[in-house]
Amino acid sequence: MTAITRKPAIGHGFRLQWEPAQSAHVLLYPEGMVKLNGSAGAIMSRCDGSHTLEEIVADLEKTFGVRGLSGDVSAFVSMALEKNWLEMR
């Protein structure tokens, strides 16, 4: 299947940005806003449509000096896809 090669990106009509006043990444959409926690922000900010899930996991593990993030990241991405926060390209 194409699941391995497909690349998550911010969903149509959503915008991700860092807000200094809230010290957080926020996800903006029509008349709404989700304030992301640190892990969610770290994952979402790497979903730029040019990296596969596997590459994103590798980058996160390297950045935070930990291993075994694949399960947590996949679970978050599935949830975010369901909410249309992310889409696969």
Among 4, 17, 68, 71, binds another protein (CB under 8 A): 17
Report the residue number, 58 or 81, with the smaller CB distance to another protein. Answer: 81
Report the residue number, 30 or 65, with the smaller CB distance to another protein. Answer: 30
3-state secondary structure 4-65: CCCCEEECCCCEEEEEHHHCEEEEEECCEEEECCHHHHHHHCCCECCCCHHHHHHHHHHHHC
Among 1, 3, 4, 21, binds another protein (CB under 8 A): 21
Give yes or no for residue 33 binding another protein (CB under 8 A).
Answer: yes
